[in-house]
A and B are shown apart, each in its own frame.
With several copies, the nearest count.
Chain A
Amino acid sequence: MDLRFTDEEIAFRQEVRDFIAKELPAETRERMVAGRSPTKQQVVDWQRKLNARGWAAPEWPKEAGGPGWTLAQRYIFREELQQAPAPSPLGFNINMCGPVIIEFGTEEQKRKYLPRMLNLDDWWCQGFSEPGAGSDLAGLKTRAVREGDHYVVNGQKTWTTLAQHADWIFLLVRTDPAAKKQEGISFLLCDMKTPGITVRPIITIEGGHEVNEVFFDDVKIPAENLVGEENRGWDCAKFLLGNERFGQARVGASRERIRRLKVIAQESMDGGRPLMEDPDFRRKVTEIEVELKALEMTVMRVIATESKRKDKKPDPATSVLKIKGTEIQQMCSELLMKAAGPYAWADGDPDEEDGSNEVDVAPDWAFGLAGVYFNWRKQSIYGGSNEIQRNIMAKAFLGL
């Protein structure tokens, strides 16, 4: 048992850190420090810088355009991005659709899509969830009927994150309605410019536009856009979802939030002294720091185990990472809001490109923090709600 990073890994961390320090635009960083999402252009620019360096897809194999890193390197890389903070490589491209194509796609599909994914020439989005399906993903109803060399798709997807930016969508459709629930599903790729697609924004409670409904009305998708076999799309979905091994822990991101929290709580006065000196507030911050340290060690355990695993089954510890990771992130957002006090409550979409504290109704460091808190309640709902994670642990791991 040796619980430290190797010298090579420590050197690698420095290399990543130096790269970020040199290449990350200050504006992107500042926007993210304020708790806002980077703009589309900021994400694209950054992805291209990573791609130029060969770092666009940390988890991809070398032959597909990845850097060929060990798990520890991937972890270090992502952690450094998160705590910079810098945008992560676009998840839809790099962690969702890309790996599915690498695993199940034809050579033709690989050639066509992967390089453009890496360079963010195409922005992808995910068409999985449907209204009414919720945690029961396999209950999806969107139909695809084969007609000649096309599928004709009808139905509706929802919670489609950043569909408004997307050039392409990968989606699950039902190709055999007579089959049992998980069977009869196929995995398709679709150009968002195809006639019959309508994107309608869903505005979330804090006022942001991050997710969408996507309607398919007789949308013709070329049959060559099928990934894997027809009616075997659930394999792709399971692979994609199971692929998420330690990404939901977001240790680096939470560390960055705690740093920020400490700065804000030092600015914010309470009872005549900085809030950070209030024993109760300080205790709360310390408690998340402790949880985060334990989570970091749990991630490292998962990585160490993963490197030796042969099967591709999801690790039960993944649920621990999801539950604790999201609880910590939500708690950070709550403490940030609390730290800002009444000045957190000015309404404004934190993701608006123009910002909205221009009339100066709050100190800049406080503005919009309630919105982030409200928005982050989603974290315990999506990606397999934390209740679903507990079901998984009880059944798959404890055998209850």
Chain B
Amino acid sequence: MDFDLTEEQRLLQDSVARLLGNKYGFEQRKGYMKSADGWSREVWSQYAELGLLGLPFGEDEGGFGGGPVETLIVAEQIGRYITLEPWMSTVVIGGGFLRHGASQELRNELVPQVASGEMLLAFAQVERQSRYDLFDVATTAKKDGDGWVINGRKGYVVHGDSADRLIVTARTAGDRRERKGIGVFLVDAKGPGVERRGYRTVDGQRAAEVELSGARAVAVLGNPEDGLPLVDQVVDECIAALAGEAVGAMQAVHDMTIDYMKTRQQFGRPIGSFQALQHRAADMLVALEQSRSMSYFAAMSAAERNPVERRKAMAAVKVQIGRSARFVGQQSVQLHGGIAMTIEYAAGHYFKRLTVNDAMFGDADHYVRDLSETGGLVAAA
């Protein structure tokens, strides 16, 4: 049992922190948000240089050879600076599908492009009726010659507007809510039959509403008749990364709040000298530390072989992180008072990111139900 980083991991952490420290001041971030993409191509190319875009791929295929701990390290920095680039979509989710679902040929083609920053990926999964159920898929994929033709509508496709390829879940067989019969397809985002309407989300990131009308898949990821286990695995890896992001964001906004409490004067003294607010800050710290612990558990469990155990672990992670993020986010705003309600102040942006982070792939309430229906973490005896 050892929570220390290896020398290599420490270097990774330092280099990401240094890059974002230079490139992700609040004003810089605002500039990226206002740009056409909604994020920075320059930062993206520096990600590529640092190896962050090849992070999860083997060194033999041009990657960094990182595992869940390395992902956690990067994700935490991303949360600390609430960055806007499509790293989670392209590298964690997209990379996950390539690693676990792509043919060798496809990997050979795409991994170098992803690692170099040329290829952006986005996950088109949510549908209007699906809410957080990964298996609730109405979009269809029909065999047509050697290929597949896809029809349907996907919503909240994170970074779907700038993506080069979309990773689309579509039903090849069965009823809408059947667990079998789901396939995962790679679709050219600019190809025929794909219409995208990009928009900004409340946390300042980008997403798209995507209509697929006879779009042809350029590749199949995994088993087109039974792709749900693949989706589950990739989403679980993403949940572990999201946990890191949330911890980074909570730490940053908590630090910001403590600093503010030390300087902001009310009734002739710093507000941090009021005991009721001190206790609130202490409770936020408890929530943060419990979440940090849980982010380690998430990294540990991302590699768990038994999918039932892995899903349970990630459900627990979502519950802890989501509850903590809600509390820390809301209270950071409350302790700041009015100033945190303005768009010109960073705290509110952390609060918004933490709110969306909680709900990505299902919020704490969703997972507490899931976990309780599957017997929880402790067996009766």
Contact = CB atoms under 8 A, between A and B. Distances in A.
B308 interface: no
A268 B136 CA distance: 14
Contacts of B299: 1, 3
A303 interface: yes
Nearest to A264: B380
Interface stretch (A34-42, A54-62, A335-343): A335-343
B218 interface: no
Given A293-B377, A399-B258, A347 B202 contact: yes
Nearest to A129: B338
Contact of A205 (B261, B275, B342, B359): B342
A286 interface: yes
A140 to B, nearest CB: 13
Instruction: Place the interface of chain B in its size category.
Output: 35 or more
Interface residues of A, number: 102
Contacts of A136: 266-267
A45 interface: no
Contacts of A270: 131-132, 366
B290 A320 contact: yes
B342 A202 contact: yes
Contacts of A281: 365
A138 B6 CA distance: 44
Given A1-B69, A320-B286, A305 B378 contact: no
B378 A342 contact: no
Contacts of B342: 202-205
A298 interface: yes
B209 A341 contact: no
Interface in A68-114: 72
A285 B296 contact: no
B245 to A, nearest CB: 16
Interface string B328-364: 0010011001101111100011011001100100010
A343 B155 contact: yes
Interface in B312-326: 316, 319-320
Interface of A: 1-6, 9, 72, 129, 132, 134-136, 158-159, 202-207, 255, 258-260, 262-263, 266, 268-272, 275-276, 278-283, 285-287, 289-298, 300-301, 303-305, 308, 317, 319-320, 323-324, 337-338, 341-347, 359-363, 370-371, 373-375, 377-378, 380-382, 385-387, 389-391, 393-395, 397-400
Interface of B: 1-6, 9, 69, 126, 128-133, 136, 155-156, 177, 197, 199-204, 207-209, 258, 261-262, 264-267, 272-279, 281-283, 285-286, 289-294, 296-297, 299-300, 316, 319-320, 330, 333-334, 337-338, 340-344, 348-349, 351-352, 355-356, 359, 363, 365-366, 368-369, 371-373, 376-381
